[in-house]
């Protein structure tokens, strides 16, 4: 089972989810700087992108997209206070622009403030219900909160919107959300085939996550007798204390 999820919101993903628009009244030079910065981000040339975004903002200080992308780079570099200032500026300029809420959620997540991360990501989804990365990030936040039903719902929606969700993460969340169903289904299977090693193994793992160590150990021993590969460390963990 996957114990740690590192990926949250990458700069490349932020770029993909945050298209920018400029009105005819805005500076062409600022537009050029922004275009060049976006290209730099795609090639991981963050210092170059940071300088160009600064130039774009100097020329036109009402470009919410430029503030957002600069905030993402600053967050990536660990300057979260400056990143939050840029995200707040982007929101002030365009309250309906969803990506800055993604950025604020990423900062909150990196600080371990999961409740705030969920709140910001919900605000992003409210503004753009098709923003797949917001569902993915909120799903990861729910996962760490152990709010598994909402984690599964968000990760499923992210997948529907084309976001790649790590199979190990999704499998773990699904399993933990459906433990009783797994136990019920495997018990039915074993009623008709009591030599089914996989069924014993799956039921044992479900009992393990329900913290019923005695039943987990019994099923996993049976699974091992029938040829299933069961880790020694797991078996040792389930042994009753002497």
DSSP letter at 240 equals P
Predicted confidence (pLDDT) per residue in 94-124, tens digit: 999 999 999 999 999 999 999 999 999 999 9
The whole-angstrom distance between residue 209's C-alpha and the CA centroid of its chain comes to 22
pLDDT at 1 exceeding the cut of 50 = no
CATH of domain 11-166: 1.25.40.10
- Do the domains spanning 11-166 and 178-238 agree at the CATH topology level? yes
Helix (H, G, I), strand (E, B) or coil at 67: helix
DSSP letter at 26 equals S
Residue 194 phi/psi, 5-degree rounding, is -80, 10
Which architecture, in CATH terms, is 178-238?
Alpha Horseshoe (1.25)
Residue 141 phi/psi, 5-degree rounding, is -60, -45
DSSP letter at 194 equals T
Predicted confidence (pLDDT) per residue in 199-215, tens digit: 999 999 999 989 999 99
pLDDT at 25 exceeding the cut of 50 = no
Domain ranges across the chain: 11-166, 178-238
CA distance 115 to 135: 15
| Confidence (pLDDT) at 8 | 53
pLDDT at 13 exceeding the cut of 70 = no
Q: What is the pTM of this model?
A: 0.76
- The answer to whether the Cα torsion of 77, 79, 85, 88 is positive or negative is positive
Predicted confidence (pLDDT) per residue in 121-153, tens digit: 999 999 999 999 999 999 999 999 989 999 999
């Amino acid at each position: 089972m996957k114990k740690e999820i590192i990926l949250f919101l990458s700069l490349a993903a932020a770029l993909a989810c945050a298209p920018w628009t400029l009105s005819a009244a805005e500076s062409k030079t600022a537009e050029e700087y922004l275009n060049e910065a976006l290209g730099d981000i795609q090639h991981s040339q963050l210092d170059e992108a940071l300088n160009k975004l600064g130039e774009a903002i100097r020329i036109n200080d009402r470009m919410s997209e430029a503030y957002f992308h600069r905030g993402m780079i600053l967050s990536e570099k660990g300057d979260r206070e400056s990143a939050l200032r840029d995200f707040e500026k982007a929101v002030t300029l365009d309250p309906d622009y969803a990506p800055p809420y993604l950025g604020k959620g990423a900062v909150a997540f990196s600080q371990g403030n999961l409740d705030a991360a969920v709140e910001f990501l919900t605000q992003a989804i409210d503004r753009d219900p098709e923003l797949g990365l917001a569902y993915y990030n909120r799903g990861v936040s729910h996962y760490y909160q152990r709010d598994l039903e909402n984690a599964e719902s968000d990760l499923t929606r992210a997948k529907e919107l084309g976001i790649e969700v790590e199979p190990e993460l999704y499998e773990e969340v699904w399993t933990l959300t459906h433990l009783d169903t797994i136990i019920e289904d495997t018990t039915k299977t074993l009623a008709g085939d009591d030599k089914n090693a996989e069924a014993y193994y799956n039921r044992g793992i479900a009992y393990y996550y329900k913290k019923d160590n005695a039943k987990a150990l019994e099923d996993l021993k049976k699974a091992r007798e029938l040829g299933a590969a069961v880790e020694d460390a797991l078996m040792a963990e389930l042994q009753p204390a002497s």
